[in-house]
Amino acid sequence: RDLAVRATSLPGHPSPGVLVVLHDISELRRLESLRHQFVANVSHELKTPLASIKAYAETLRGGAINDQENNLRFVSRIEEQAERLNQLIVDMLHIARVEAGEEAFDITQVGLRSVVDSSVTQYAQSAKQKRIQLVVEPPSHRAIVVADEDGLRTVLDNLLSNAVKYTPEDGTVTIRWRSDAGRCILEVQDTGIGIAEEHQTRIFERFYRVDEARSRDLGGTGLGLSIVKHLCLAFDGTVELESVRGQGTTFRVYLPAAVS
Ligand code: ADP
């Protein structure tokens, strides 16, 4: 442990004395180092798309603007990278608000079915392009959870989008839920690339990716699972995963069930 020692003479004490104050600064050091790491990560993440935007703009200015075959392609790249920057900023602000307890949640009773259906509709197209089957297992009951509906949709969207992203063609993504001891347990299971054990504990950290280049190419910001974790905690729930590399991953979200 790191201890900061402060020696103070005692004012007004009849005999010359010393008061020794011990502060545990190891926790402060840890927080400070996390903060540094976060700022470094943010800078790196913002610089990458910015550098691409600059490079494409310079190429256009340097003559490519007259190249009828490629100039629109370069403009599209600029737009993609600008969108990436936008997504990063939106995600970072979202995490900051949730963490600071400043996100205004409307905690109500939410039917899981409709949230699952809207998320499935959103990712149906990208799943179809990879011939991935999106399966919603028929639930044994109508689950109602206590959460913020938009937040819950964000949780599902992130899990489903990852499941489709990290599952190769012809795979399957299954969504199912059940109730147990006053909680609702929602699972998103895929037959994708899986996550090796050494990465599993770190996967919910901001910007942590197993394969940085691959995730970036797939449009990931590295913030999705961190948002999922924070939202689940804000709803008095939790999230965990089970995964075997090369075989697939199951994310399991536990949420308080509404009392019927
Ligand atoms: P990203 O935007 O990079 O997808 P996330 O925070 O959503 O960021 O996920 C962090 C990392 O966890 C991903 O980069 C990927 O390496 C890994 N990951 C997330 N979901 C899955 C999954 N279903 N299968 C395999 N790997 C996954």
CA of 42 to the centre of ligand 1 (A): 18
Token pair belonging to 22:
């011990």
CA of 167 to the centre of ligand 1 (A): 11
For ligand 1, what atom is nearest to the CA of residue 222?
A: 8
The SS3 of residue 246 is coil
* Mean pLDDT value across residues 189-209: 94
Q: Which of 166, 212, 226 to mutate to test the pocket of ligand 1 (most atoms within 8 A of CB)?
A: 166
- Segment 247-257, tens digit of pLDDT: 999 999 999 99
Residue 163: the pLDDT is 97
Of the candidate ranges 13-17, 25-29, 33-37, 188-192, the one whose mean pLDDT is the lowest: 13-17
Whose alpha carbon is nearest atom 2 of ligand 1?
A: 220
- Segment 200-220, tens digit of pLDDT: 999 999 989 898 777 777 777
Residue 6: the pLDDT is 62
Phi, psi of 16 (to 5 degrees): -65, 120
The DSSP 8-state label assigned to residue 65 in this structure reads G
Residue 159: CB within 6 Å of ligand 1?
A: no
CA gap 153, 58 in Å, rounded: 40
Interface confidence (ipTM) of the complex: 0.98
CA of 226 to the centre of ligand 1 (A): 10
Query: How many angstroms separate the Cα of 230 from the Cα of each of 41, 141, 182, 245?
Result: 19, 27, 21, 25
Q: What share of the chain is helix, strand, coil (3-state, %, to 5)?
A: 50, 25, 30
Decide if pLDDT at 2 tops 60.
no
Nearest in space to 219 (alpha carbons), one of 20, 22, 48 = 48
- Segment 125-136, tens digit of pLDDT: 999 999 999 999
Residue 15: the pLDDT is 59
The SS3 of residue 207 is coil
The predicted model scores a pTM of 0.83
